[in-house]
Structure formats: structure tokens, C-alpha cells
Chains A and B, each alone.
Chain A
Amino acid sequence: MEFLRPATWQEALAAKAAHPAALPIAGGTDVMVEINFDHRRPEHLLDLTRIGELYEWEAAGDTIALGASVPYARIMTELRDDLPGLALAAHTVASPQIRNRGGVGGNLGTASPAGDAHPALLAAGAEVEAESVRGSRRIPIDEFFTGVKRNALADDELIRAVHIRRAAGPQQFSKVGTRNAMVIAVCAFGLALHPDTRTVRTGIGSAAPTPVRAMAAEGFLNAALADGGFWDDPRTLTPSVAREFAELCAGACNPIDDVRGSADYRRHAVGVMARRTLGWAWESYRGTGRTERGAA
């Protein structure tokens, strides 16, 4: 095994081009587990922790450019207003120690269906900035996840940043685990209201081979909100609308039975989370939302 320690982004891209099988490591929260438990023996480890720009975020117009390695702990505190859904998701990641070290780039690189950031990114609408010595491109988050722990990155590409629209409305995130802290998602749900475009987006984690959006549910809710004039006259949401939305979200799941939970439960729980997060976000949009201590 060789340990590659690029000092700059350009060096990192060159190293990845020279060793396409090199395994990028930043927070180490996935990679080191695989190494410690002898699940993976890459020829090259490509350490990205010396590249300062990966640890920075900046606002550009209506978008936040989030460096791939900005740790979850900073997302929770520094971006809770701009990216509330992702900040909430960041707060549910593993433990304080992991949140101090792990970032969204690693989550996307691993592309586990259970990655906590994914539902929030899907709901907010994000683009993954992938770069190689060949050049840079933006991959829409909807096209990023291609299979179980597979993503759209080419072998020579690294994730530099994620570009996420600043929240124009309330966002929520909820995750079910069988422990009250430090737990991998049995399933998770992200929801964002986009009053500027009068749309709602969703993200479902750990309930399908990849993180997915509940497209039919979004379509139904967008129509229901528009038809009812809810955006202009934000009344309490009709319970039947919330119920139908929840059912459609549950229907968007294609889960499996595994040690963390059954497929049937996952489908059920996604429905409950969809209904609840919609309720919280909508009440917040109406201006009645209660602030949630400890939630972000």
C-alpha cells in the first residue's frame, strides 16, 4: 500500500489520474473501517486532508458551494440557515467525533443508500462538482447515485464540492434508527419546500438500492398545493393531502429486509416521516412552526 499525500488540488487530480484505483480518504470514517477490518486493501490511499479548499464553503448568489470535506459539525452550525435540511441531516450523522471529521464528499463517494446527507441533497436540489485532469463537470444529484454503493464518478475524478441551492423555504430531515444516537439509518427522509418555484422535493434514504426521490409524491403534492392555492394562502394542510403524500412516499420505496430492519417497516416508517416532516415544514412555512432545540 502506498500513501499519497497531495498538497494541492492539482496534485490530487494528477495522483488520481496516475492511479485511478487509488482510494480517496478524507474524514476516514468509511475508509478506515474497511481497512481496519480487512475488507479493503487498496494499492494507494489518496489523502485529501491537506487540501485547504475542500474544507471551505462559500455563498455564490443563490447557491452554496460546499467543499467536499467541510465536516458535518461545521455544516450543523455554520449552514443551518442556508442549508437547514442538510444541517439537520448532519446532526444525525453518527457521533460528535465522526461529525468533526466526516464530510459530504465522503458520503457521496461511498454512495451508500444509508448515507445521511443524501436525502437532504436530493430534497434541496444539488449538483456534485466532479473534477479530473480532464476537466470539471457538475453532476445533478438526481443522476449521481447509480447503484448500491455506486456513483457517477469516473475513475479519475474526485469530488471537489457540492453546490446546493440556498433554502428559499423550510426544510426537514428525519431518520429512523433503533438507537437514540450514533446509529446508521434504517431509513431516512428529507423534504424541502421551494416556495420560489412552488415545488416540493423529497429524498429517501436506505429504502431502495440508491437514495431516491419520491417523484409521484412530489408531483401529487405540487399539484395539490397549486390547485388549492396553498402557496399564496398558506392554510393548514388538508389531512387527506398529507396522507396521500405519505402513502406515495412509502410507495416510492423499494427496500430490502436486512439486520437493521424489515422492508415492510421501512416502507411504513418512510410514510410516517413523510407526513410528519411535511407537517413541520408546512407549519413553518405558515409561520407557526415551533423552533426545535437540539434538532439542528
Chain B
Amino acid sequence: MRVTITVNGQQQTADDVWEGESLLYVLRERLGLPGSKNACEQGECGSCTVRLDGVPVCACLVAAGQAEGREVVTVEGLAQGERLSPVQQAFVDAGAVQCGFCTPGLVVAADELLERTPSPSDGDIREALSGNLCRCTGYEKIMDAVRLAAARRQEAV
């Protein structure tokens, strides 16, 4: 089947999509956007988190056909040109990235958290990111990164 999706503001079309394909597969293998990651494909790790009509979801659990006509924002859509988003920059600066496989999902989720809750408590951060597994960092520097991004966003306002 043919699927047309607006991804990061651009309308994109994929042909010959098998009906059982996920949005994640279409993004990664058909639309040239492998930033969303394929760590579990069962909604248990958050590595494929994208915004679907603004809402963070696991792209692995969205059937390709369900994304037809919808707006998707992936990790590739967060930076403005060369300028990283505050969450992206904070992840680099705080040492929150090791292998980085969880990073795309985490920055999408954290970005949405700060949009919703500009000054989150540690409990809020932990709850908002509790669907994103990281195996490398022990999460401490991810906490640092989100706190840093929140502080910088506040300063910028």
C-alpha cells in the first residue's frame, strides 16, 4: 500500500508498504530516517519515541497505515539547522550519551516533557522518562541533562 506522512514538516510518500510494517520500519527503511531506533519493537524501551500529532508514542507500535495523513516529528526534526535543541545540547554537555542508542527516544521524550512542564521536579523527570530504557549510563547524567536543559530554557525565556 502507499503511505503518505508529514515527517518533520515535509510530506513524504512510501510505496509498496507491507500492511504489517510499523511506522518505525517505514521511517527507518523507506524514508531514510533511521534516527528513531529499533531496540525492542515491543513498546518496552522507548528508543523509537516520536511525536505523532504532537504526542510521544512508540513508533514500533504504530502500524504504518495508521500514520497515513498524520504529522510525525522524529529526532531528526528537533535541531534547527546546525543549532541543537536545548535538550540535545544538554545531553551532549552533561555526558548523558554513551552508546547513544537510547538517546534519540530520550531527547524526544524529554523535549516534550519540558514543553509541558518547564520546571520539572526530579520525580517528574523520572516519571516522564520511565518508558525509556538506557543500559549504559545508570540515568544519572540523563537526569543532569534534563535539569540543565530546563535551566537553560528558563534562562532563555
Contacts and interface: CB of A to CB of B under 8 A. Distances in A.
Do A and B touch directly, given a CB cutoff of 8 Å in the complex? yes
Contacts of B18: 1
Given A41-B20, A49-B66, 5 more contacts: A1-B19, A28-B66, A29-B61, A95-B132, A98-B43
Interface string A1-40: 1110100000000000000000001011101110111000
B131 A182 contact: yes
A148 interface: no
Interface string B41-55: 111101001001001
Given A36-B60, A94-B131, A47 B20 contact: no
B111 to A, nearest CB: 13
Interface residues of A, number: 29
Interface in B17-58: 18-20, 22, 41-44, 46, 49, 52, 55-58
A263 to B, nearest CB: 25
B148 interface: no
A94 B58 CA distance: 12
Contacts, number: 94
Contacts of A94: 43-44, 131
A207 interface: no
Interface of A: 1-3, 5, 25, 27-29, 31-33, 35-37, 41, 45, 47, 49, 94-98, 100-101, 180-182, 294
Main secondary structure of the interface of A (DSSP, over half): loop
B63 A100 contact: no
22 contacts: A1-B19, A1-B20, A5-B68, A28-B61, A28-B66, A32-B62, A32-B63, A45-B63, A95-B132, A96-B109, A97-B49, A97-B56, A97-B58, A97-B109, A100-B55, A101-B52, A101-B58, A101-B62, A181-B130, A181-B131, A182-B130, A182-B131
B127 interface: yes
The interface centre, meaning the residue of B20, B42, B123, B131 with most chain A CB atoms within 10 A of its CB, is B20
Interface of B: 1, 18-20, 22, 41-44, 46, 49, 52, 55-58, 60-63, 65-66, 68, 109, 123, 127-128, 130-132
B42 A33 contact: yes
Contacts of A101: 52, 55, 57-58, 61-62
Quick one: which of B42, B44, B52, B61 has the most chain A CB within 10 A?
A: B61
Contacts of B20: 1, 35, 41, 45
B46 A3 contact: no
Contacts of B128: 96
Given A97-B57, A294-B123, A47 B66 contact: yes
Nearest to B59: A97
Contacts of B43: 29, 32-33, 94-95, 97-98
A6 to B, nearest CB: 12
Contacts of B68: 5
B130 A95 contact: yes
Nearest to A1: B19
A98 B1 CA distance: 26
A180 to B, nearest CB: 8
Given A2-B19, A32-B63, A182 B56 contact: no
